Every structure is written in structure tokens, then in C-alpha cells.
Amino acid sequence: MMDSNVLDTGKNFDKLPETYVIFVTLKDALGHGLPIAHIDRIIRENGKEFGDEEHFIYVDSSKDDGGELGRLMHDFRVKEAKEMQAGALKDRVHELKETEKGVEHMCKEMEHLCDEARMDEKKETARNLNDMGLPIEQIAQALKVNAQMVQEWLAGSVSTAR
């Protein structure tokens, strides 16, 4: 389901782009004592890589080996830019958190994320109301959107029923 927003309906999975999901955790979430763990899918029966180009990386932010990754994790943990070590990241954090222009930008981004979340909730509600048999016009009225938008949401939804 993770790839559902990057591939058009009807396209073969081999057209998916290579993806990386990076989890930066507070401690060793996997319990292997590693500062970083790269995870790729394998076929159990033959030990070969699956080849879907989907990669998962777990980073334990509590580890600081003094290397580049340790310094970056230090910078992730501190609250203020002046406590950071990495130049480019430090400069950007300062700009976004401590300048008027940066704070304004971050506020707009947060508003955008909130709007997006509200829209996702409306889409989910539209699907649920549709599953309950409510007509599209009533769904649109309940959600304060136009009927065409509801139709587009429902056309784009993938049924998970089996």
C-alpha cells in the first residue's frame, strides 16, 4: 500500500521507482546493537533479493560513534540550531525556526498539512458513507464539497474487501 500513490492504476509494479523508508528511532528498535540497519526483502527459499527496490533503514539516534552519522543524530536530538554541529543542517534549522521568514514558511507548511489531513478524513468518510449506501449527493452535502469531488474520491479508492 505504501506505493499506491506513486504508480498509476493499471501500471506494472516494475515501473515503481526505487524507494527508501528511513526510521530514525530514539533507541535500538530492532535490538541488534547497530547504529544503522539496512533492510531489503529476500526470497526465503533461495536467499536471493526480491528486487522490488524498496529499502528500509533503521537509525538508532542514541548511538554516537563520533562519525558522520553520530554527529547527524546528535543534531536531530538537540532543540536549538546553536547546539548543532552540521553546517548546512544547522543553517537551515536556524532559518526555519529562528527567522521571521522561516517561521512564516513553517506556519504555512503546517496549515497545508492540516488541510491535507482534513481532506483525507473527508475522503475516508465519503468512502464509509458510500459503503453504507448513501447517495453521492447526500455525501457531498454532508461533507460540504461538490458531488464531482466525491465521485473522484470514490473512483480513486481501492477496495480492500476480499
- Distance in angstroms (rounded) separating the CA atoms of residues 85 and 77: 11
Mean pLDDT score of the chain: 88
In a domain, 24, yes or no: yes
In a domain, 79, yes or no: no
Task: Decide which of 106 and 6 is more confident.
Answer: 106
Mapping DSSP onto H, E and C, the string for 52-112 reads CCEEEEEEECCCCCCCHHHHHHHHHHCCCHHHCCCHHHHHHHHHHHHCHHHHHHHHHHHHH
Task: Burial-class residue 27 by CB neighbours within 10 Å (0-12, 13-18, 19+).
Answer: exposed
- Distance in angstroms (rounded) separating the CA atoms of residues 91 and 82: 9
In a domain, 83, yes or no: no
Q: Which three cell numbers stand for residue 53?
A: 527496490
Q: Point out the domain boundary residue: 47, 63, 79.
A: 63
Whether the per-residue pLDDT at 158 is higher than 50: the answer is no
Residue corresponding to grid cell 503546517: 110
In a domain, 150, yes or no: yes
- Distance in angstroms (rounded) separating the CA atoms of residues 110 and 13: 33
- Once rounded to an integer, what is the mean pLDDT over residues 7-26? 80
In a domain, 152, yes or no: yes
Residue corresponding to grid cell 497545508: 112
Q: Model confidence at 160, in pLDDT bands (50, 70, 90)?
A: very low
Cβ distance 57 to 38 under 8 Å? yes
Render pLDDT for 103-146 as a digit per residue (tens, 0 to 9): 999 999 999 999 999 999 999 999 999 999 999 999 999 999 99
Residue numbers of the domain that contains 53: 1-63
In a domain, 68, yes or no: no
Q: Give which of 84, 55, 57 is closest to 72, Cα–Cα.
A: 84
Q: Tell me what pLDDT residue 7 has.
A: 64
| Window from 34-48, 57-71, 93-107, 127-141 with minimum mean pLDDT | 57-71
CATH number at residue 128: 1.10.10
- Distance in angstroms (rounded) separating the CA atoms of residues 144 and 125: 12
Q: How many domains does the chain have?
A: 2
Q: Which three cell numbers stand for residue 80?
A: 536549538
* Global confidence as pTM: 0.59
In a domain, 112, yes or no: no
Q: Point out the domain boundary residue: 16, 36, 63.
A: 63
In a domain, 89, yes or no: no
